[in-house]
Amino acid sequence: MAGITPVDRWDPVHASVAYWTWFSRVSEIWWTRSAGRAAIDAASRSRFDALVQFARARSPFYRDAYEGLPARRLAPAELPVATKAALMARFDDWVTVPEVTLAAVESFLADRKQIGERLLGRFVIWKSSGSTGEPGIYVQDSDSLSTFDALMAAHLDPMRFAAQCSWPLFVHGGRAALVAATGDHFASIASWRRLCQSSPWMAAHGFSIMDPLPRLVAALNAYRPVFLASYPTMLALLAEERKAGRLKIDPVSLWSGGECLAPGTRAEIEGAFGCRVVNEYGASECMSIAFGCREGWLHVNADWVMLEPVDDDYRPTPAGEPSRTVLLTNLANRVQPIIRYDLGDSVVVKPEPCACGSPLPAIQVEGRHDDVVAMAAPDGHLVRLLPLALTTIVEEAGRVHRFQIVQTAADQLMLRLDRGDPGDRQATWRAAAGALRRYLTQQSLPNVRVGLDERSPVADRRSGKLREVVVHKKAQPMHP
């Protein structure tokens, strides 16, 4: 089938060890959470203390950053904040396994054939995509991956999940489809993909977001998945295809991750497919930060993840108010400790308990909001393009991380690049424009013009964040 690549590599020895770690983690998560908020906070605090102690002993970066602090048990607020720039600048000192160097990791990432493989046979590596402007490289070991897989499994509620899914699984052979940026080492939907890998009864295939929508729809129709996982923008596009009758699949469960899922978008997707969307909030720095509940809130995996909403000066933001950023501590990953890390998202903590009954803290996230781009084809019909597909093309071809794509007319896209060395800028522009034109032609948009905007990328005035895809002038549907 066109556009399909297998994502399941089955290694029985590795899988059985991983399975037992996973199984014990699932039980442990279940017991902790059943015991309520006090047990969750106690688990988080003891994991935090152990992680800080480990990082001070094994990571030269943290040893230096915490130098001068007392050796006793420290409250989170006593520790300095870590930024991506500071950590990436001292990558080899940050990581606690000496063989995992930036040079080794970069040569591993440069090889596309290694996607899904492990560095030194042990470590899963991914890099951050698009949204942040600065590249980040993240390292996980099996232990940390087992924890995140277990968090996902605990959320899915195995008993209810099995009952709901057993008949369609039996009929359709349990096929799962992942529509993602499949061509590179990205984390965005890693936990979902790994859940499929740890369930040998389930077949999983990856579909690329780069494929033209009609081809993707045809491939999904042929595959008939029972589970469908993707980014919310992609699910919204597929929901419209389902409503129009072109997409004919009947999944029993949808999974959304990698970007923020707005309540309206969620309702549209659920309406079109007639099934529930599982919403996961994650980041490259921490695969699974929170899961959505039926009340529309995200519940933080607080036994394994610490989130501190803060203002510009890193002072705590009170519950009920939007924070300027949020400090993330990933309690599961010791290879590359993430402690009080400035994640950049704005969150609001729900002051009162959630009506769904979850003992986990409830938040809402103001995350990425790239616009879906609708462009007019030569015959006048609209072709919608995924922001993530456009940004991936520019990043990969232009080898650039700070840029902005602006739709200025129904058939025009302008690219904004940072000023810098004029020679580099020209080379970046030529490579990015060439790749964008090839992509547009594949999407039946050979008429779309791609131009270089003399201006540098402009951050959003309100949030201060850089939106990489901006629509200034929309294409209107043609009325006969």
Site residues (CB under 5 A) for Zn ion?
293, 295, 297, 354, 356, 358
Q: Cβ(426)–Cβ(368) under 8 Å?
A: no
The DSSP output letter for 295 is: T
Nearer of residues 188 and 364 to Zn ion, judged by Cβ = 364
To Zn ion, the closest distance from the beta carbon of 350 in angstroms equals 8
* CA atoms within 13 A of residue 417's CA, in its CB half-sphere: 22
To Zn ion, the closest distance from the beta carbon of 297 in angstroms equals 4
Residue whose C-alpha is closest to residue 389's, from 465, 450, 430, 443: 443
Q: Cβ(331)–Cβ(48) under 8 Å?
A: yes
Nearer of residues 97 and 356 to Zn ion, judged by Cβ = 356
Pairing type for strands 305-310 and 325-330 reads antiparallel
What's the CA gap between 77 and 307, in Å, rounded? 12
Q: Cβ(125)–Cβ(119) under 8 Å?
A: yes
Residue whose C-alpha is closest to residue 82's, from 419, 264, 336: 336
Nearer of residues 32 and 197 to Zn ion, judged by Cβ = 32
Nearer of residues 358 and 404 to Zn ion, judged by Cβ = 358
Nearer of residues 74 and 356 to Zn ion, judged by Cβ = 356
- Per DSSP (E only), the strands in 212-315 are 227-230, 253-256, 277-283, 286-292, 298-300, 305-310
To Zn ion, the closest distance from the beta carbon of 343 in angstroms equals 21
To Zn ion, the closest distance from the beta carbon of 397 in angstroms equals 42
To Zn ion, the closest distance from the beta carbon of 314 in angstroms equals 28
Beta-sheet strand order (sheet of 341-342): 305-310, 325-330, 341-342
Nearer of residues 295 and 321 to Zn ion, judged by Cβ = 295
Q: How many residues does the chain have?
A: 480
Nearer of residues 204 and 349 to Zn ion, judged by Cβ = 349
Residue 454 has a CB neighbour count (10 Å cut-off) of 9
Token pair for residue 415? 């690219």
To Zn ion, the closest distance from the beta carbon of 363 in angstroms equals 10
What's the CA gap between 85 and 203, in Å, rounded? 39
Residue 219 has a CB neighbour count (10 Å cut-off) of 19
Nearer of residues 96 and 279 to Zn ion, judged by Cβ = 279
Token match 């610490």: residue?
A: 306
Nearer of residues 323 and 358 to Zn ion, judged by Cβ = 358
To Zn ion, the closest distance from the beta carbon of 358 in angstroms equals 5
To Zn ion, the closest distance from the beta carbon of 356 in angstroms equals 3
To Zn ion, the closest distance from the beta carbon of 76 in angstroms equals 24
What's the CA gap between 360 and 33, in Å, rounded? 8
Nearer of residues 180 and 290 to Zn ion, judged by Cβ = 290
What's the CA gap between 97 and 101, in Å, rounded? 8
Which secondary structure element, helix H or strand E, spans residue 266, and what is its range? helix 263-273
To Zn ion, the closest distance from the beta carbon of 150 in angstroms equals 20
What's the CA gap between 37 and 362, in Å, rounded? 12
Residue whose C-alpha is closest to residue 109's, from 86, 139, 89, 83: 139
